[in-house]
Amino acid sequence: MKVRDLMTSSVSCVRPETSVAQVAKQMKQQNVGAIPVCSDKGEPLGIVTDRDIVLRSVSAGGRPATAGEIMTKNLVFATPDMNTHDAALLFANHQVRRLPVVQDRKLVGMLSLADIARKSIYIDEAGDALSAISKPSTIM
């Protein structure tokens, strides 16, 4: 199965100058835990997770205050044609729970570990990836 078969294709982005408060509101409205940060051309520049908001903004007394200041910049991403097994390896190897899906340098969707876990044929791969993700990391 390909990533395009499991990904969410209706994904909204924020701009780097978007306030952290607005990013949090958008996450709440969309019931998501991560929002990509994109350029005017729809190219992903980074991603802000709910954890980024807590660790890089709230715990720092509300500073920094924009998405661009707290986003994770070294994006790991999938492509729509990528095999789901390869995406599961990316989750595990990079200790992430969400992957932006990029085609021709543009964001076309998001794939979460939960998207893979919902398919019973991939439950073992999702479990293996979650186990690898749950190990302590030095990434901050």
Confidence of residue 6 (pLDDT cuts 50, 70, 90): very high
pTM of the model: 0.81
| Beta-strand pair 106-112/34-38 | unpaired
Query: For position 133, what pLDDT does the model report?
Result: 47
